[in-house]
Amino acid sequence: MRISVTTENEIYPLEVAQDLELENFKALCEMEVGIPAGEMMVVFNAQPLTDDKKTLKDYGVKDGELIMVIRGTTLLRRAAEHMQQQRQPQGGQRQQNQGPVPMGSGQDDPAVIRDMLLANPEQLALLRHNNPRLAEALTSGDLDKFASVLREQQEMRRDRERQRIRLLTADPFDMEAQRLIANEIQQENINANMEAAMEYNPESFGTVHMLYINCKVNGHDVKAFIDSGAQTTIMSQACAERCNIMRLVDTRWAGIAKGVGTQKIIGRVHMGQIQIENDFLASSFSILEEQPMDMLLGLDMLKRHQMCIDLKNNKLHIGTTGTATTFLSESELPDCARLTSLSEEEARRQSEKAAKESEDRALAEALAASSKEGNSGGASGSSASGATQHGDYGLQNTKSMEAMKKIALYLLYLENVEEIRFKAQTLLWQ
């Protein structure tokens, strides 16, 4: 069995047999820790082990247990210190209950610490990774908030240091001290494991973006999330309304979706078409009321069409048709799936840009429709006979040209893209 032997400063893992006698265990510990067997005191579960002829099994030592090995002189010194602390509780109490050290104008000044971190980009990047809360307070620009968070974390660090000092001077027979020592050992193991991961496997601390593809539902562009861990394909209510398929929702399938949290299911669209590249695939949708992502392709869709997620080539292969589509990059992901969120100013700018492009597209379509009406009017006028018909054609063509010129002037006023400006100028010269 494997046990851990702890001294004042070190921990030694040992492989021993359960039937090992205490005197032989002391001899083994003497070779490992360097304490003579004659001066050695073995403590287990806050009880000293005194009978050298008993085995470890007789003392109840099991696999994974912690045994303390200490010199007898050290034990006597700790007992004397413990008795002295018991005689002078008020002085020690007064010393431990002292308030936090006030921050002066030196290295403990929050303003100085903030300026040092802001002047060093590398330290700031490390702070964002290791201490996100303090980094957020630092970048907020609020000195009082930063000072409050910094003071709180410094006080927590002082408490841990005081606890460590108490462990070094605690009574070895105290069960609470044994528990704190075990917690300290566990935390040291966790920190060692994290340091090893940061050195040999640093990519595990990075964050990867999710897998999305472009598709169309009922002729409307949708960014679909590929989730092989979801049982069914789902769609948000907002996306269903945008794709004009809410009229097909069967409310008899309403319920509650449970996973990481719960969401209300409005109903189900039993069959719809999803266009991926040039393929049209049949699928059903469960419509969720408050779903942040537009659509999620679940395992039912992936298995039905034998889809394969190819992470090496960053593609989704559709086995039933042989088509492959590329996963979206992070810049193409919807806002709810991005790792880096946009600032309010950038979001406002993008929203204004999208609204302007939509308005430009609508005006361009109106321009094309007016041009088509003018051409059809000219064709009908040329095929007709008589002065009256030619007069009607001229009047209709004049009205059409006036409407086109108004649209062209409006396009020029909006300062649109060069292609629309060129079309507008061409119409004005006609």
Q: What CATH number does the domain containing 52 carry? A: 3.10.20.90
Give the helix, strand, coil percentages of the chain, each rounded to 5: 55, 20, 25
Whether residue 202 is contained in a domain is answered as no
Kindly report the pTM of this predicted structure.
Answer: 0.47
Give CA–CA dist 71/60, Å, rounded: 22
Give the span between the Cα atoms of 279 and 220, in whole angstroms.
15
Q: Are residues 244 and 300 in the same domain?
A: yes
Instruction: Out of 33, 62, 78, pick the residue that ends a domain.
Output: 78
Q: Which two three-digit tokens encode residue 180? A: 């704190």
Residue 344: predicted pLDDT:
53
pLDDT at 158 over 90: no
Alpha carbon separation from 280 to 63, 272, 316, 322 (Å, rounded): 61, 10, 15, 13
Question: Model confidence at 164, in pLDDT bands (50, 70, 90)?
Answer: confident
Residues 65, 138, single domain; the answer is no
Instruction: Tell me how far apart the alpha carbons of residues 147 and 134 are, in angstroms, rounded to a whole number.
Output: 9
- CATH assignment at residue 280: 2.40.70.10
Pick the residue with more confidence: 173 or 199? 199
d(CA 260, CA 258): 7
For residue 88, count other CB atoms closer than 10 A to its CB: 9
Residue 304 within a domain: yes
Q: Is the Cβ–Cβ distance between 226 and 274 less than 8 Å?
A: no
Same domain, 299 and 226: yes
Check 174, 227, 360, 392 and give the catalytic one: 227
Residue 212 near residue 327, CB atoms below 8 Å: yes
Answer yes or no: do 114 and 52 share one domain. Answer: no
Q: Which residues of 114-137 are buried (b: 16+ CB within 10 A; e: fewer)?
A: beebeeeeeebeebeeeeeebbeb
Q: Is residue 386 part of a domain?
A: no
Specify if 425 maps to a domain: no
* 301: its two tokens: 């869709």
Same domain membership, residue 285 and residue 228? yes
Give domain status of residue 287, yes or no.
yes
* Most confidently modeled range among 8-17, 84-93, 168-177, 375-384: 8-17
Q: Give CA–CA dist 337/295, Å, rounded.
A: 12
Q: DSSP states of 376-392 as a string?
A: HHHHHHHH--SHHHHHH
* Same domain for 61 and 6: yes
Same domain (yes/no): 234, 310:
yes
Q: Is 384 within a domain?
A: no
State pLDDT tens for residues 254-264: 888 876 678 88
- Residue 227 annotated as catalytic: yes
Beta pairing partners, 255: 265
Number of domains in the chain: 3
| Last residue within a domain, chosen from 335, 369, 384 | 335
Q: Find out whether 180 and 167 touch, Cβ atoms under 8 Å.
A: yes
Q: What is the mean pLDDT of residues 312-323?
A: 92
State the Cα–Cα distance between residues 22 and 371, nearest whole angstrom.
103
Residues 300 and 260 in one domain: yes
CA dihedral 60→65→66→70, nearest 10 degrees, is 40
Same domain, 57 and 134: no
Domain match, 164 and 220 both: no
Is residue 303 located within the same domain as residue 249?
yes
What residues make up the domain containing 302? 212-335
Angle at the Cα of 182 (from 40 to 173), degrees rounded to 5? 45
Task: Name 256's bridge partners.
Answer: 264
Confidence tier at 392 by pLDDT (50, 70, 90): very low
Tell me: do 263 and 318 sit in the same domain. yes
pLDDT of residue 106: 47
Query: Of 78, 96, 125, which marks where a domain is finished?
Result: 78
Highest-pLDDT range among 100-114, 260-274, 377-391, 409-423:
260-274
pLDDT beyond 50 at 386? no
Inform me whether the pLDDT recorded for 404 exceeds 70.
no
